[in-house]
Amino acid sequence: MTRARVAVALGAIFAVFFALVPFISLHVDWVLPGTVNVVNSTGTLEVLALCFIFAGVALGYDVMFGFTGLLSLGPVMYFATGVYVFDIALTRWNWPLASALGLTFAVSLVLALVLGAIALRVSGIAFTMVTLAFAQAFYYLIEDNPHGLTGGDTGLALSTARLPAFMSGAVSNTRNLYWIAFGFLVLAYAVVWVVTESATGHVFVAIRENERRLEVLGVRPFGYKLASYTLSSLVATGGGVAYILLIGTAVPSAVASTTVTLSILVMVVLGGAGTRWGAVTGAILYVYLQQYLLKVAAQPSFATLPSFLRVPLSQPQFLLGAIFVLFVLFVPGGVAGLVSRRRTPSLKQLVAGQRRKQ
Amino acid sequence: MTVFLSLTFSGVALGAIYFLAASGLSLIYGLMDILNFAHGLFMTLGAYAAWDAATHAPASWGAPVIFVVSLVAAVLGGALAAGLTEVLVIRPLYGRPISQILVTIGLDLAATGLLLGAFGSNPQSLPVPLWMMEASHFAGISLPNADYVAFAGGLVVLIALEWFLRRTRYGIIIRAGVENRTMVSALGINVARAFTLVFVIGGAMAGLAGLLYAVVFSGELVSPTQGDSLLIFAFIVVVIGGLGSIRGSAVAALMVGLVQDYTNFYLGNHPGMAEIGNLSVVLLLAVVLEWRPRGLFGSAL
């Protein structure tokens, strides 16, 4: 079997496994993030669904950052668009589901095209900072609670009146929401796969490698960069919609702050920027660890630890940040880099192999 | 008119703090191409160092002395944090600018998490002499003395920085490195030492900015995330002023401080516009970039 076939087979096995997780009522100690140590308990399914949502968002972000080389610090803006526009359309305006979805993606598309075109007028670090500033402005706008739409700091709970019954936030629906989140990830993966393997996707990589060379070849990078930015934004919006369905409440600090952007970036780099499965793995590891560490820190026995251990260990943000720093320093290429380094022999091994032949 | 003048002065005081935060960022970027996300952390750590020193100093020293002690602690705390950052995590990544940015992001997340764990998300109250909050009358307007202190701090640092960059050997090396780093190292000058120095200077200014921001604008409160919110404005100032330009940072910091202050006062009272000051700053950034993509004083990117 070729490498590509092995990858497809592995991906299919994982997909089938995760699709069937809600039926696995196995009791597993220690490793599950939910409070009940059963695989298909509500808590664990919720955490896994959150993993899938961020995996999709991270994958979209990877198209822009890992494949096209655009370090944007604004993906949270499109995630928040998905959360808030969908939430406002359903809750404040009582729109039907399909119209709410249509509006959400239309708003995201327009925002991405307009703001992307402005931000892409500058390149490099200036682009990074402009996207950061736009995302921050968006955050302020949400906090401002214009016309009482967003609910400001207190947030906006999703009204499920216009949603089909199987989607409402009831506990018995958790497995349906799990499948929605999983479906979002599969869809995002399929779209990103098709795009990155297409001719357009190859131009993305060429932009990352050497934009000037591309211009010399007569290709104008701007349109491709905007396309990459827009695709990544639309995927983030899809993630936002899945998020609000799963979590049921939109709070600015959780869905619109720069911290979210930075976590998405951390996920992609941990997993391996520029690879599809790397971004997905990084996001799943990140969210899972984050939730798992919170559970561990809430254990009663945890309070008996001395404070120099308890304080750092109770902060997932500290542990994940520290792991991230260590990865950047010692494991460039992330998890995907580790795997491919094992697969492709190093220069030293090649030379040794040559010597042996002689 | 008096209102306008008072607004102008407090806007300038805000601008002075932005300048302290942004000039270090700008120097670091200019010399090393690093977008330093840990700069917000340096500000927070400076403010915490000041808080720690001020709460542990014996009360018999008197409030003014304690304030000076906390000022020194903020500067040293920021400088120490920045120096360690450069030596421990930036140095191993020389020549990999994206990784350097990423590592500062990770450091910021990790250290902020640690501060949250150690002190909680509730802000700590910084002991400040009462005099700082009293109003002084000057040219027909009255403002808290803290505003004047912030303004004086920014001005002193601007002058000192300009003197350092123009008149001292290391200042000249740093300026030359900003212009053309390869050439400077080709001349046999140890640029790595200048890198550490730039971080230490930037960190010291950031620590001072963190303390002054806590004193002037956040009601003498110190919290783990306050540096990060200040950092975004510092970034905006750096981009508007032009990356690598100290004078650009000074001018842009004043612009941003004034715009934020005016719009907040004149428009912020309307319903749903509480954040108009922050929004207008982002708008200013967009306008400047459309007009001059390299910023006001920027040369090349």
In contact, A41 and A22? CB cutoff 8 Å: no
Model confidence at A68, pLDDT cuts 50, 70, 90, reads: very high
Q: Is residue A235 part of a domain?
A: yes
Question: A232, A237, A223: which is closest to A117 by C-alpha?
Answer: A223
**Set of chain B residues whose Cβ sits within 8 Å of the Cβ of A71:** 98, 101
Q: Is the pLDDT score of B273 beyond 80?
A: no
Predicted local distance difference test score (pLDDT) of residue B159: 93
* Burial class of residue B176 in the structure, from the number of CB atoms within 10 Å of its CB (0-12 exposed, 13-18 middle, 19+ buried): middle
Q: Is residue A255 part of a domain?
A: yes
Model confidence at A285, pLDDT cuts 50, 70, 90, reads: very high
In contact, A142 and A256? CB cutoff 8 Å: yes
Q: Is A133's CB within 8 Å of B33's CB?
A: no
Percent of chain B with pLDDT over 90: 35
Separation of alpha carbons A269 and A61, rounded Å = 11
Which stretches within A248-315 are classed as H helix? 252-255, 258-271, 276-297, 307-313
Q: In terms of residue numbers, what domain contains A209?
A: 17-291
Q: Is the pLDDT score of B274 beyond 80?
A: no
Which CATH number fits the domain that encloses residue A213?
A: 1.10.3470
Separation of alpha carbons A244 and A82, rounded Å = 8
Give the phi and the psi of residue B143 in degrees, each rounded to 5. -135, 155
Q: Is residue A301 part of a domain?
A: no
Q: Is B99's CB within 8 Å of A332's CB?
A: yes
Q: Is A133's CB within 8 Å of B235's CB?
A: yes
As a whole number, mean pLDDT of residues B207-219 equals 88
Label residue B163 left, alpha or beta by phi (over 0 means left) and psi (-120 to 50 means alpha). alpha
Q: Is residue A6 part of a domain?
A: no
**Set of chain B residues whose Cβ sits within 8 Å of the Cβ of A266:** 105-106, 109
Which of A123, A125, A317 is facing B243, going by the closest CB pair? Answer: A125
Predicted local distance difference test score (pLDDT) of residue A356: 64
Count structural domains, chain A: 1
pLDDT digits (tens, 9 = 90+) for A104-144: 999 999 999 999 998 998 888 888 888 998 998 899 889 88
Q: Is residue A23 part of a domain?
A: yes
Average pLDDT taken over every residue of chain A? 89
Distances (CA, A) of B119 to A296, B40, B48, B116, B222: 20, 17, 10, 6, 10
Q: Which of A136, A253, A263 to mutate to test the interface with B (most CBs of B within 10 A)?
A: A136
**Set of chain A residues whose Cβ sits within 8 Å of the Cβ of B102:** 265, 269, 324, 328
Q: Is B274's CB within 8 Å of A144's CB?
A: yes
Separation of alpha carbons A260 and A77, rounded Å = 10
CB atoms within 10 A of CB A140: 18
Predicted local distance difference test score (pLDDT) of residue A324: 93
As a whole number, mean pLDDT of residues A94-102 equals 94
**Set of chain B residues whose Cβ sits within 8 Å of the Cβ of A316:** 113
In contact, B99 and B93? CB cutoff 8 Å: yes
In chain A, % helix, strand, coil (3-state, to 5) comes to: 75, 0, 20
Q: Is B93's CB within 8 Å of A144's CB?
A: no
In contact, B262 and B11? CB cutoff 8 Å: yes
Q: Is B113's CB within 8 Å of A321's CB?
A: yes
Q: Is residue A8 part of a domain?
A: no
Q: Is residue A246 part of a domain?
A: yes
Q: Is B272's CB within 8 Å of A332's CB?
A: no
Among A107-121, A277-291, B128-142, B183-197, the range scoring the smallest mean pLDDT is B128-142
Q: Is the pLDDT score of A358 beyond 60?
A: no
Separation of alpha carbons B202 and B234, rounded Å = 12
Separation of alpha carbons A150 and A91, rounded Å = 10
Give the phi and the psi of residue A157 in degrees, each rounded to 5. -80, 145
Q: Is B282's CB within 8 Å of A332's CB?
A: no
In contact, B79 and B43? CB cutoff 8 Å: no
**Set of chain B residues whose Cβ sits within 8 Å of the Cβ of A324:** 102, 105-106, 109-110
pLDDT digits (tens, 9 = 90+) for A157-188: 998 888 888 887 777 788 899 999 999 999 99
Higher pLDDT, A307 or A111: A111
Separation of alpha carbons A132 and A136, rounded Å = 6
Predicted local distance difference test score (pLDDT) of residue A349: 63
Percent of chain B with pLDDT over 70: 98
As a whole number, mean pLDDT of residues A10-29 equals 87
Residues 6+ apart with CB under 8 A from B190: none
In contact, A83 and A139? CB cutoff 8 Å: no
Q: Is the pLDDT score of A298 beyond 70?
A: yes
Model confidence at A63, pLDDT cuts 50, 70, 90, reads: very high
Separation of alpha carbons A238 and A212, rounded Å = 33
Label residue A261 left, alpha or beta by phi (over 0 means left) and psi (-120 to 50 means alpha). alpha
How far B164 CA sits from the closest chain A CA (Å)? 27
CB atoms within 10 A of CB A342: 9
Q: Is residue A12 part of a domain?
A: no
Separation of alpha carbons B247 and A150, rounded Å = 40
Q: Which of A93-97, B57-61, B134-138 has the highest mean predicted lDDT (pLDDT)? A: A93-97
Q: Is the pLDDT score of B271 beyond 80?
A: no
Question: A328, A304, A335, A135: which is closest to A229 by C-alpha?
Answer: A135
How far A311 CA sits from the closest chain B CA (Å)? 5
Predicted local distance difference test score (pLDDT) of residue B301: 41
As a whole number, mean pLDDT of residues B236-242 equals 90
Which of A122, A144, A318 is facing B114, going by the closest CB pair? Answer: A318
Beta partners for residue B202, in sequence order: none
As a whole number, mean pLDDT of residues B201-224 equals 89
Separation of alpha carbons A50 and A52, rounded Å = 5
